[in-house]
Amino acid sequence: MDVWTIQKREIMEMVKTGIVWYPELKEGSCPGLSLCYELAIGIYNHHNKSSARGLVFAMARNAAEPFQDADEIGKLLKSNKRLEGFLRTEKGSLLEDGYDLVRLQYPDHINPVPVDVCAYTAMEPFIVKEDDGGLSFDLYAADPAGLTSAEQMFPFFKDWVIGWPASPMFRNHSTFFQLHYGFIAPENLTGEEYPATILICKEET
């Protein structure tokens, strides 16, 4: 499957020299999201029988439909500028000099554990870390009194954890899926890449 990702230019230059890049999860200032990412790594490793310590975050129109080109991604961001916020990190925006928008190709046998781009934010309050270091999904964690509504809103998370990789949730909200891969290898490169700044939403003049 073809996917698009935004990565530091120095990382992509390294891959072009023949080196396989394996990302590693770094502790951020938002513990809840860090737990979500830890859970995603665990699920990715479970499905792919791998030992990834971090994930490449890629973009697609949905779980089985890639964006056709960079222009399609740019138009989506322009039509819903709030989505641009998902391309920002604690250290700044991915849509700036030094980052590239890259088209990659991965074998179809890899399960990329696709989720809606909004899922991590919605999921964050319900992920808890157990005393033994394990992670669990707890409907009571965010609002004990709101269990009924939580069950209605997030039932797919339980399915996702035990093996259903994609969610129909939020589909009318963002039309933007996030896919996960444990590496970027030279053979994943398609030769199509652009400065990430081409995606910056600008007002019509």
- Give 194 or 157, the one with higher predicted confidence: 194
* Within a domain: 147: no
* Within a domain: 152: no
* Within a domain: 133: no
Cα distances from 5 to residues 34, 93, 116, 129, 173, in angstroms, run: 20, 14, 15, 29, 21
For the cut 50, the answer to whether the pLDDT of residue 167 exceeds it is no
What is the domain extent for residue 7? 2-118+173-199
* Within a domain: 102: yes
Backbone angles phi, psi at 190, to 5 degrees: -105, -10
For the cut 50, the answer to whether the pLDDT of residue 9 exceeds it is yes
Mean pLDDT of the chain: 75
Query: Other C-beta atoms within 10 Å of 22: how many?
Result: 15
Instruction: State residue 40's pLDDT score.
Output: 80
* Within a domain: 146: no
DSSP of 23-79, one letter per residue? ------S-HHHHHHHHHHHHHHHHHHT---SS-EEEEESBTTB--SSHHHHHHHHHH
For the cut 80, the answer to whether the pLDDT of residue 67 exceeds it is yes
Instruction: State residue 26's pLDDT score.
Output: 77
Instruction: State residue 10's pLDDT score.
Output: 96
Residue at token pair 């992670």: 135
Q: Which residues contact 112 (CB under 8 A, 6 or more apart)?
A: 1, 3, 44, 58, 106, 165, 179, 180, 181
The rounded percent of the chain whose pLDDT value lies above 70 is 64
* Within a domain: 136: no
For the cut 90, the answer to whether the pLDDT of residue 11 exceeds it is yes
Residue 158 tokens, joined:
């339980």
* Within a domain: 204: no
Q: Which range among 17-31, 79-93, 107-121, 183-197 shows the weakest confidence by mean pLDDT?
A: 79-93
Instruction: Count the domains in the chain.
Output: 1
Contact 176, 117 (CB under 8 A): yes
Instruction: State residue 27's pLDDT score.
Output: 67
